[in-house]
């Protein structure tokens, strides 16, 4: 163990070229493997590889994920083909199937409720909290004036700083304060813009404390702690919904009638609103759809995940993000989520597949992309619950699982067909499939002589 640790330490890894980094990893950790195993995933062109390498640091390989599409997604009357990047089998199939189901029942509706983002400057200040009301108006003007050059372009695009408040955080420390700044960031996710403005505000705050004539001597001590956007975006929210008369909610092959299906579906959603253990899994299903679109379009899925789960726990208990109601014999299912997404800036143009994904969607603006991602989350959630309250999730899942196992065993097309037929209605396991395939291959060898 000690030997392994010494061998595994290095200074200046980042300064090595990619081949050297690979070689060092092979020598220190990957006995028996070859550099080919990294090279296999290299991009076809030097230019593309350069683009990918520029996204991150210490790169040694690319990590490909499947890029699929869900067709027939009708949102507010427009039909989209939704790009989805996800490694889990059944997700794209489920989204596609839900999209098709709702396409013949009026489609999805989606609306953006608000698009405000937040950022914070945290600081320690020697003044009294009561002084804030008198000092804030001039300070605010000073901050805006000092950053006018930085905000002008964003303002021309319809964004900018929308206002700020000055909070006291005595629970942290009697001298702890925060500037909470509200932003509009137009079609960009806006992280760079927000952080640039916040850091400029931090600098200006220090200057203000040192020089402002409004301040008394004992109000001049100000220490910046940090300036950073907040990924909590409860005011950057979109709602997606479907509705349909119960009588039209038939689920072919599920063995339940429409009314029974709706009753069971509503109970499943209500369980997820009340029980956090179920809510987390329920919301995971929602995020299967949302994350796949977020990734495909080059957006920040960690930011979205963090925001969504904070939102799900808004009233102090973690709950399902979707809700279901039946009113006057009409089924209503809706999802409300915070989604801080961008269609310009960041990776959206830099990653060639994100660029292609946005082209597939007809170059939506940020609000349209919020609608598309939320609808995909709702579609995914609908498909998961539809399976859960009828056939169970494993039936569909296992079909996909079987195909993955067959791929890993390098099954030929006829082998695939025969194995799929055999496992129809039987329990799928890696071991079972391998055994069956081995037998099949032995049999074939025997026949072929």
Asked if 314 is an active-site residue, the reply is no
Q: Which helix (H) or strand (E) holds 244?
A: strand 236-245
Which runs of consecutive H residues, i.e. helices, occur in 244-275? 258-274
**With CB under 6 A as the contact rule, which of the stretches 116-124, 181-189, 282-290, 367-375 interacts with ligand MEV?**
282-290
Burial 17-53 (b: 16+ CB within 10 A, else e): ebeebbebbbeeeeeeeeeeebeeeeeeeeeeeeebe
Report, in Å, the least distance between residue 263 CB and ligand MEV: 18
Judged by CB under 6 A, the residue of 109, 282, 351, 386 near ligand MEV is 282
Asked if 300 is an active-site residue, the reply is yes
Judged by CB under 6 A, the residue of 23, 281, 420, 429 near ligand MEV is 281
DSSP result, 161-191: EEEEEEEE-TTT-TTEEEEEEEEE-TTB--H
Q: Which residue number places its CB atom closest to ligand MEV?
A: 285
Nearer Cβ to ligand MEV (162/284): 284
Residue 130: HSE in the Cβ half-sphere, 13 Å Cα cutoff = 0
**With CB under 6 A as the contact rule, which of the stretches 78-86, 383-391, 409-417, 428-436 interacts with ligand MEV?**
383-391
Give dist(CA 116, CA 106) in Å, integer. 30
Contact, 91 vs 384, CB < 8 A?
no
Q: Could you say which of 27, 37, 87, 88 is catalytic?
A: 88
Report, in Å, the least distance between residue 313 CB and ligand MEV: 18
Cross-strand bridge partners of residue 173? none
Say whether residue 288 binds ligand MEV (CB under 6 A).
Answer: yes
Judged by CB under 6 A, the residue of 7, 153, 173, 284 near ligand MEV is 284
Asked if 15 is an active-site residue, the reply is no
Report, in Å, the least distance between residue 110 CB and ligand MEV: 20
Give dist(CA 197, CA 204) in Å, integer. 10
**With CB under 6 A as the contact rule, which of the stretches 190-198, 204-212, 236-244, 277-285 interacts with ligand MEV?**
277-285
Nearer Cβ to ligand MEV (282/401): 282
Report the greatest alpha carbon distance in the chain: 99
Say whether residue 393 binds ligand MEV (CB under 6 A).
Answer: yes
The token pair that represents 435 in the structure block: 């055994």
Asked if 284 is an active-site residue, the reply is yes
Catalytic residue numbers read: 88, 284, 300, 397
Sites of contact with ligand MEV (CB under 6 A): 88, 281-282, 284-285, 288, 384-385, 388, 393
């Amino acid at each position: 163990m000690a030997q392994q640790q010494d061998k595994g330490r290095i200074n200046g890894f980042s300064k090595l070229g990619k081949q050297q980094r690979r070689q060092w990893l092979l020598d220190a950790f990957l006995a028996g493997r070859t550099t080919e195993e990294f090279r296999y995933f290299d991009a076809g062109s030097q230019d593309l590889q350069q683009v990918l390498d520029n996204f991150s640091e210490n790169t040694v390989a690319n990590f490909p994920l499947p890029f699929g599409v869900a067709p027939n997604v009708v949102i507010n009357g427009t039909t989209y083909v939704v790009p989805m990047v996800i490694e889990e089998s059944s997700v794209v199939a489920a989204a596609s199937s839900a999209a098709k189901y709702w396409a013949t029942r009026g489609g999805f509706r989606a609306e953006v409720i608000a698009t405000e983002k937040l950022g914070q400057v945290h600081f320690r200040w020697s003044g009294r909290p009561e002084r804030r009301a008198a000092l804030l108006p001039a300070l605010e003007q000073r901050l805006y004036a000092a950053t006018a050059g930085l905000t002008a372009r964003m303002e021309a695009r319809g964004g900018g700083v929308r206002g700020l408040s000055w909070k006291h955080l005595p629970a942290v420390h009697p001298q702890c304060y925060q500037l909470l700044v509200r932003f509009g960031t137009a079609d960009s996710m806006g992280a760079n813009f927000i952080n640039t403005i916040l850091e400029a505000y931090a600098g200006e705050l220090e200057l203000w404390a040192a020089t402002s004539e409004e301040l008394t001597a004992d109000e001049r001590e100000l220490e910046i702690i940090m300036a950073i956007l907040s990924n909590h975006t409860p005011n950057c929210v979109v709602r997606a919904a479907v509705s349909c008369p119960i009588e039209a909610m038939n689920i072919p092959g599920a063995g339940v009638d429409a009314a029974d299906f709706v009753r069971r579906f509503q109970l499943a959603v209500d369980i997820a609103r009340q029980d956090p253990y179920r809510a987390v899994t329920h919301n995971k299903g929602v995020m299967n759809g949302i994350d796949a679109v977020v990734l495909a379009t080059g957006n920040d899925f960690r930011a979205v995940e963090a925001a969504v789960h904070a939102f799900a726990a808004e009233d102090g208990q973690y709950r399902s993000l979707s809700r279901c109601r039946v009113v006057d014999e009409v089924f209503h299912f809706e999802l409300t989520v915070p989604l801080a997404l961008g269609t310009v800036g960041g990776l959206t143009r830099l990653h060639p597949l994100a660029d292609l994904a946005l082209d597939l969607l007809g170059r939506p603006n940020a609000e349209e992309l919020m609608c598309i991602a939320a609808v995909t989350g709702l579609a995914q959630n609908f498909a998961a619950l539809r399976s859960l309250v009828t056939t169970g999730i494993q039936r569909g899942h296992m079909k996909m699982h079987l195909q993955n196992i067959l791929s890993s065993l390098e099954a030929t097309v006829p082998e695939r067909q025969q194995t799929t037929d055999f496992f129809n209605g039987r329990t799928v396991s890696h071991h079972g499939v391998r055994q069956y395939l081995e037998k099949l291959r032995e049999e074939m060898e025997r026949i072929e002589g």
